[in-house]
Amino acid sequence: MRDLLPVEKARREQVLEHIRQVYRSRGFQEIETPALEELSRLTSGQGGENEKLVFKVLKRGEELDRAMTDGSELADLGLRFDLTVPLTRYFASNHSKLPRVLKAVQIGSVWRAERPQKGRYRQFLQCDIDVLGDESELAELELITASLAALDAIGITNATIRVNDRRVLARTLNSLGITAQERAMIAIDKLDKIGLSGVQEEIEQTYGSEVAKSVAEWLQQTQEMSIPTELSWISKLANPSKVRFDPTLVRGMGYYTGAIFEIEHPSSSSSIGGGGRYDNMVGKWSGIQTPATGISLGIERILDLLGESEKDEKSLVLLVEDDYAAALKAQAELIEQGWKVRIEKAAKNTKAQLSELSEQGFSSFTQFKPGEKLDIRKLG
């Protein structure tokens, strides 16, 4: 968990605003959900390995005293580990007030109690778009198109998306003799980290040497496999060259039921986003089966790929001596003209002062003199 300096915060908000504009222009509506969810919902068996990383929140007051006395569970709430689980609860709770097809944008922090390392934090920001209520392939097409457009808008033009389908993967594993598939999927999901031999070893420990050999032979042939019928919609994309079928893609969450996606970038060792179809989750809470698909951008990893934020050309610092009233009046007039104006009491060492403010993103500076009209063209 980190503090953000002003320049870092400004850079983050600049990126998020570009992304928001892209999503809004495509009819997505922004929503918000609480940081806390019921612990039973966060640990319902849908979140894969992330359920082991939930930050639990103790019961309060008399409930906590009672739990300590009778030895029952001390925690009843948890910090959300992603934005999808809260979204499905949100839709189930509010569906009567929402459109038949909800196209949602959700931006917020999530928390996972894992070991921090480069590009991996205990608190990090996610930006999700989801389509709930549309069972057609239009949902997948829109999500991928919008996500690539959002990345283009912030200067990440060479991202690609790997795509698979959980139904295809499950069918393949069945044909290889694996019916209880969770541990097999976990092993295959680590292919890029532990290699073919590592996956084969893990499969052998659980399913035996014959099954492990069959899985290894299948993995060696995946480059030659054609796109399955379930993913034929890829050809309808405006830029299908940015999307490729990867039969080994798993995604860790247990709630996926169909297409799954992972966004990669040549300069990042980890994915910068991902998602998929999760048709059974809303019905789990509401009893009403609702198709749903979503994709998430990992903002922290995306920011790591971007350079420093550009200085705002219309940001100005007025250095004043003691004529504060006149400076405030001038500030108001400049703001009306579209400038962002900061007033600073002039320091003895103005060179160091200006250098510091320049590092904070301000592009123009002037010594304010009451009664003297500011010449905007000469600011600098």
Domain ranges across the chain: 6-305, 312-378
Alpha carbons 253 and 230: distance in angstroms, whole number: 20
Whats the size of the chain, residue-wise? 380
Q: Is residue 373 predicted with pLDDT exceeding 70?
A: no
% residues pLDDT > 70 (the chain): 95
pLDDT (mean) for 93-102: 93
> Crossing angle of helices 191-207/209-221, nearest 10°?
150
Give the fold, CATH level 3, of 6-305. BirA Bifunctional Protein; domain 2 (3.30.930)
pLDDT (mean) for 217-233: 89
The reply to whether the predicted model has a pTM over 0.95 is no
Whether 273 contacts 262, CB under 8 Å: yes
Give the fold, CATH level 3, of 312-378. Rossmann fold (3.40.50)
Same CATH topology for 6-305 and 312-378: the answer is no
Q: Is residue 18 predicted with pLDDT exceeding 90?
A: yes
Whether 379 contacts 353, CB under 8 Å: no
> pLDDT per residue over 32-75, tens digit each?
999 999 999 998 877 677 788 899 999 999 999 998 999 888 99
> pLDDT per residue over 122-132, tens digit each?
999 999 999 99
The residue among 39 and 364 whose pLDDT is bigger is: 39
Burial 256-281 (b: 16+ CB within 10 A, else e): bbbbbbbbbbeebeebbbbbbbbbbb
Q: Is residue 337 predicted with pLDDT exceeding 90?
A: no
- Return the bridge partners of 72, or none: none
State the chain's mean pLDDT as an integer: 89
The residue among 21 and 352 whose pLDDT is bigger is: 21
For every residue of 2-17, DSSP letters joined together read ----HHHHHHHHHHHH
Whether 164 contacts 245, CB under 8 Å: yes
Alpha carbons 211 and 9: distance in angstroms, whole number: 51
pLDDT (mean) for 90-108: 94
Counting DSSP H helices and E strands in the chain, the numbers are: 13, 14
Confidence tier at 310 by pLDDT (50, 70, 90): low
Q: Is residue 119 predicted with pLDDT exceeding 80?
A: no
Alpha carbons 106 and 78: distance in angstroms, whole number: 19
Specify which of 149-163, 273-287, 341-355 reaches the highest per-range mean pLDDT: 149-163
